Structure 1
């Protein structure tokens, strides 16, 4: 019982301090679990074992994140996405439904790097003038962007999938292969949502009535950047970069090499071809170091929390009182309950708290009712991913509403329910195909 009390206090402190933003996650994940382990009565040798086991669990995924973010950052610097975005914007013309579909496609492709800020900066500035010209409310742009990035975040280098794989102690590429049918369904649903919401905008809010105060020249020049950014573009290498990216994704699908090595190799080729000068290579690595290291450092630190929770017996001890509290008729369907609540929970709880605090506990309780951990993880992943751009805990949310000059409450009022419905559709599909078992 004492071990369970220490475990609950540890998790409560971590989640509370993260929610209150009293410290960065890395510090909390390193200090609190270690202190808790000593308070629980474990020796230095035992705590050392917990730490090593936990770090071993997440180290490959941390390396994957570093090099995947760097690879797609280099592709973005070189202008791989520019031609696609510019052609799609021109293709959209003045058809509101087509504009909405094009928005979804741009959001989906621009989130290949798994970075929410990149997706926001590629999609919203490119399309906002067109939305204004066609009298389409910016809330639709936010909704579709958030939906596209949420579905694409199920990629193996997406932060939530990497975290879930760490908690499962599972190869992230294997987990992604299982998620592919759900992701494809999500992509189809994203296009469907874009069409339905665009029809609604036309029918009820006058979208499609041309605003002549927004000139076509404004739309043509939306991606005009400063000289420093333009100097990084490699328009003659766009085809090569597309083929390299395609090759990386194909190799990942075949799963013949460690996924982190695939991106390490891809980064090396991308740098050699696009930026052969050693100073340019160093500059590109430095430019993406912050984004690459931020999450990977947190992931390595979270390995300590995972190690202490899993190897000390805390997690098992914590399930005993929970089993007494949760009615059995609910507990045996806990994966469905958690899947339904995943989006609202993901909206108000930070990513690290969700995956390293709530998910392991839900898995452990579920196992007592013959619910496999993988079953629970997939159910909880779907809604959490879709909640990305409606969560006040995600910095990109504030960047997006700032760029569109939209109030947070208006964004949530417009987007929350449609996204929740979409997450439930994906959950139902996962149940139908047997990925989430009843």
Structure 2
């Protein structure tokens, strides 16, 4: 019981401090498990071994994150999809359904790098003037983007998938290949949602004013330094390199982190052959890459200590007393259904590093495969990623769209929650998730 008490206290403190933003997640993931292990009486040598074992399981995914973030940062600098996105915006014209569907496509493409902030910055400023002109509610824009982000965030370099891989001590690419069929379903569901919302907006009176044939172009001032980084003449080459990356990731003949290491080097040489430009691009993207990867490595210590000390098993044993015997084998389905609302409250780190390991511990006692639990919770939670007040990108998105958080959650939640449940159902039917 003492093990379980220490474990639950650690989880409570972790979640509380993460939600309050009192300190860096890196400090929490390193400090809390070390204190807990010391309270349990483990020696410095044992604690060091637990921590080292946890770190070892995260290194491949951490390297993947470093180079994938820097690669897609380079592609964003070079404007890989700028021409395509501009073309889609022009294609949308003044037809409401075309506008909502184009929003979905831009959101999906824009989130290929796994960054919610980038998606918001690419999609919202481009589409909001059109939405205003056509009298389409900006909450519709946010709902479509939120769904596209949630679906695309299942890529191996997306934060949630990498966190799941850390907890499972797996390669993030292997997790992604498991959920890839459901991600494809989610992409079509996002476009379907855009169509439905477009139809509903027409019913409530949205559309171009009489006599209006086009939307006035909104001039957006872009810094000259940013423009200087653009490489429109290399867009096709950059897209080709990115497609090769995706093929290699699915083919799985080279470790995913090696793929991105090579791709980053090639992309840097093609787009910025000058050494000064290379150093500048590296310095621009390294802080973000290092911050996320360092958090992941620190989380490895957290998960490693929880596992090796027996805290996780003890916590799961306590929870077993509250789970009806008949429901135990369906714990993954229950957690998947509850994942979206719980995820909104907890945020990403607390959900995947705090709740997921405990759920896996409970599932083990009923013979539920840890991967089964993890992907069900991943699919269930991911669609609500941009609704959580604990996620900084949420405030960026609502700020750009000029929408209040309460209005965003009130309108968007029912749609993304419905699609997350649909994806879980299809995953069960297709055998991606087993009962």
Per the normalisation by structure 1, the TM-score is 0.97
Q: Does 1:428 align with 2:425?
A: yes
> 1:209: how far off?
3.3
**Given the alignment, which residue of 344, 363, 376 partners 1:366?**
363
> CA-to-partner distance for each residue in 1:118-146, whole Å, 9 max, x for gaps?
00000001111111111111111111111
2:374 aligns with one of 374, 377, 384: 377
Equivalent residue number for residue 411 of structure 2? 414
User: For 1:216-235, what aligned pairs fall within 5 Å after superposition?
Assistant: 216-219=215-218, 221-222=219-220, 224-235=221-232
Residue 266 of structure 2 corresponds to 269
Q: Which of structure 1's runs of 4+ aligned residues deviate more than 2 A?
A: 209-219, 329-332
**Could you say which residue in structure 1 is the equivalent of 2:65?**
65
Within the alignment, does 1:247 sit opposite 2:247 as a pair?
A: no
* Distance across 1 between alignment mates of 2:348 and 2:421: 19
Cα contact 1:362–1:376 (8 A) shared by 2: yes
Q: Is the aligned partner of 1:282 residue 2:279?
A: yes
With over 3 angstroms needed to count, the CA separation of the structure-2 counterparts of 1:2 and 1:102, relative to structure 1, is: same
- Which residue is 1:329 aligned to? 326
Q: CA RMSD in A?
A: 1.4
CA contact (8 A) 1:133 1:212 kept: no
CA contact (8 A) 1:114 1:158 kept: yes
Shift of residue 214, structure 1, vs aligned partner: 12
CA distance in 2, matches of 1:193, 1:342: 21
Task: Give the structure 1 partner of residue 399 of structure 2.
Answer: 402
| Paired residue secondary structure (1:51) | helix
Counterpart for residue 10 of structure 1: 10
In the TM superposition, residue 217 of structure 1 has moved relative to its aligned partner by 3.9
Give the equivalent residue in structure 1 for 2:151. Answer: 151
Listed as ranges, the gaps of 5+ residues in structure 1 are none
Residue 211 of structure 1 and its aligned partner are, at CA, apart by: 8.8
Q: Which segments of 5 or more consecutive residues in structure 2 lack a partner in the other structure?
A: none
Aligned residues: 435
CA contact 1:104–1:190 (8 Å) conserved in 2: yes
Residue 215 of structure 1, CA deviation: 7.9
Alpha carbons 2:348, 2:385 under 8 Å: kept: no
Aligned residue in 2 for 1:258: 255
How far apart, CA to CA, are the structure 1 residues paired with 2:100 and 2:288? 29
DSSP-derived class of the 2:434 partner: coil
Residue 89 (structure 2) pairs with residue 92 (structure 1) = no
User: Does the 8 Å CA contact 2:95/2:208 hold for their aligned counterparts?
Assistant: no
Shift of 1:173: 1.1
Q: Residue 207 in 1 paired to residue 239 in 2?
A: no
CA contact (8 A) 2:104 2:194 kept: yes
Counterparts of residues 294-305 of structure 1 (less than 5 Å): 294-305=291-302
- CA displacement 1:48-103 (0-9 Å, x = unmatched): 11001100111111111111011011011101110011000011111111111110
Counterpart pick for 1:316 among 313, 322, 325: 313
Residue of 230, 233, 236 corresponding to 1:236: 233
**Contact conserved, 1:135 with 1:210, CA < 8 A, in 2?**
no
Distance of 1:198 and 1:411 partners within structure 2:
17
Provide the residue aligned with 1:349 in structure 2: 346
Partners of 2:3 and 2:311 within 8 A in 1: yes
Look up the match of 1:139.
139
Q: Cα offset for 1:284?
A: 0.7
1 CA distance for matches of 2:32 and 2:355?
A: 16
| CA-CA distance at 1:407 after TM superposition | 0.8
The 1-side partners of 2:287 and 2:135 are apart by: 38
In structure 2, how many angstroms separate the alpha carbons of the residues matched to 1:353 and 1:214? 49
Give me the whole-angstrom Cα distance separating, in 2, the residues matched to 1:329 and 1:97. 46
- TM-superposed CA distance for 1:437, in Å, is 1.4
CA distance in 1, matches of 2:419, 2:212: 35
Deviation at 1:383, TM superposition (A): 2.0
> Does the residue aligned with 1:136 lie in a helix, a strand or coil?
coil
